[in-house]
Structure 1
């Protein structure tokens, strides 16, 4: 796993979003345990999926603005292309 030496400018924002998502998932679990209607549960799952997608977009933006720009500046264009392809393959399925 790669570890970056630079700071991602939106790291705290992503961590906060993930904490909210974590709480939301716990509440969905409780809804399920309490026998809530399926459409209500599915609506909440859809909200979590959207929230995860939005967090991923922030991470991907940070990756492009930070990691990839640094790699280009360091003459690592091939690594830039490999990294963005890998990131997109993981994100878009």
Structure 2
């Protein structure tokens, strides 16, 4: 598969929001790592890990919604829906295990 095949050539409206969310998650993960270094109570660390997982899930939902609203619509207009649907099925199989 060529490099061009892996990249979309249209706007992802939620791109900035996704990047901002991932930056916050990154900071949160660093804080939890510091909690472990500081030997904080396990329940406190687990609570923070649960919060990170929820934040990741919500970010994934945003990416999926953006994909549905932009990528799939464009694929239908371009007559490329079979490939895009196959790609999203693979992505969902990897995401939901």
Instruction: Give the TM-score band, short-chain normalised.
Output: over 0.9
Structure 1 residues 60-69 or 12-21, which shifts more? 60-69
Within the candidate set 4, 15, 18, 2:22 is matched to 18
The alpha carbon displacement at 1:79 in A equals 1.1
- Tell me how large the CA RMSD over aligned residues is: 1.1
Q: State how many pairs are aligned.
A: 93
Change (3 A) 1:25 1:55: same
Gaps spanning 5+ residues in structure 1: where? none
Moved over 3 A (4+): none
Matches within 5 A, 1:76-87: 76-87=80-91
The corresponding residue for 1:5 is: 9
TM-score by length of structure 1 reads 0.93
TM-score by length of structure 2 reads 0.90
Q: Deviations over 1:3-43 (max 9, x none)?
A: 11111000000000000000000000000000000000000
